[in-house]
């Protein structure tokens, strides 16, 4: 975990946790979020290390 910011395992785990909370919210309130979400789905297993590092180091838009 020396370079936790660029660690693909950390990124994947954070996305899974975000998805779990989203699913929990839907199951509690019975509807999808009214706010639009980012529709791009990235397959991180197909990305090169350089692409993952660039993605991890880019500031959120």
- 34-56: per-residue pLDDT in tens? 555 555 566 778 888 888 888 88
Q: Quick check: is 61 in a domain?
A: no
- Residue with the larger pLDDT of the pair 11 and 61: 11
> How many independent structural domains does the chain possess?
1
Q: Quick check: is 60 in a domain?
A: no
Q: Quick check: is 29 in a domain?
A: yes
Q: Quick check: is 21 in a domain?
A: yes
- CA–CA separation, 53 and 55 (whole Å): 5
pLDDT in tens, 3-25: 666 788 888 899 999 999 988 88
pLDDT surpassing 70 at residue 33 = no
Q: Quick check: is 59 in a domain?
A: no
Q: Which domain holds residue 9?
A: 4-35+45-54
pLDDT at 32: 62
Q: What angle do CA 57, 52, 33 make, to 5 degrees?
A: 80
């Amino acid at each position: 975990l020396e370079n936790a910011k660029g660690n693909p395992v950390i990124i994947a785990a954070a996305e899974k946790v975000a998805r779990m909370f989203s699913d929990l919210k839907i199951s509690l309130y019975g509807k999808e979020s009214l706010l639009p979400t980012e529709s791009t789905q990235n397959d991180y297993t197909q990305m090169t290390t350089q692409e993952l590092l660039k993605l991890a180091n880019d500031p959120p838009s």
